Structures are given as C-alpha cells and as structure tokens.
C-alpha cells in the first residue's frame, strides 16, 4: 500500500542559474514534493517518527534552495529528492522545481522540472 504526502508551493530565494546575474541577484524558486509513504503505522499510533514530518521537510527544502548555488534546476531537484529520501519513511518522491522568474525573452507562466526518484 502506498499513501502520498504532498507539500506544495514551498518558496525560497536561491542563486541558481547559468548566468552571472542569477548568481548575484538570486530569484524565487517554488518546490512541490510528493512523498510516497505507508501511513498505516503512523495513522494507527499517531507516532510522528513513523512518517515524514512535513514541517521539518519544508525547512530542509528551503535550506536546499538557499545554499550552494547550482547551474541547473535539474541539479536542485536531485538535491531535494535526496533530502526527501533521507527520511526513513519516504519510499519514493516526485519533486517539481519551478523557476517562475527564469531569464526567458518571451512571455511565459512558469518553467519547471519534475523528477521521480526512489530508494536504490
């Protein structure tokens, strides 16, 4: 049985990108995470240690965004996926990184990458 924990719209400023001005000025990134878990144990016991603490996960995602600039949002997504999977209750994750202020010369609503990762 697989249940899903969703954390949608986590926002933080990061200095990711291939252009110097992106590294210098920074911009907002928005992250959506879906975490596959088996919620039966935590639901029956109300034991927070048997699930993924979404408050802690949100803080970790913000740290992943704010620290150690990378060129690509794909790399940032991989970093966040590794953070999610560091939680013992996380079986698999889908991570979407949005870069709504990407340096594109035409009108657009959003740029994002979604990756799906599981335990190896």
HEC string for the chain: CCEEEEEEEEEEEECCCCCHHHHHHCEEEEEEEEEEECCHHHHHHCCHHHCCCHHHHHHHHHHHHHCCCCCCHHHHHHHHHHHHHCCCCCCEEEEEEECCCCCCCCCCCCCEEEEEEECC
The active-site residue out of 99, 109, 111, 113 is 99
Residue 99 annotated to the active site: yes
Task: Enumerate the active-site residues.
Answer: 99
């Amino acid at each position: 049985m697989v249940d899903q924990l969703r954390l949608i719209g986590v926002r933080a400023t990061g200095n990711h990108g291939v252009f110097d001005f992106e590294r210098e000025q920074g911009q907002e990134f928005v992250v959506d995470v879906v975490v596959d878990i088996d919620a039966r144990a935590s639901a029956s016991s109300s034991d927070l240690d048997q699930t993924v603490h979404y408050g802690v996960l949100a803080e970790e995602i913000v740290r992943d965004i704010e620290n150690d600039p990378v060129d690509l949002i794909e790399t940032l997504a991989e970093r966040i996926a590794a953070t999610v999977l560091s939680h013992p209750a996380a079986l698999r994750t889908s991570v979407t990184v949005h870069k709504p202020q990407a340096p594109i010369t035409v009108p657009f609503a959003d740029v994002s990458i979604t990756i799906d990762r599981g335990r190896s």
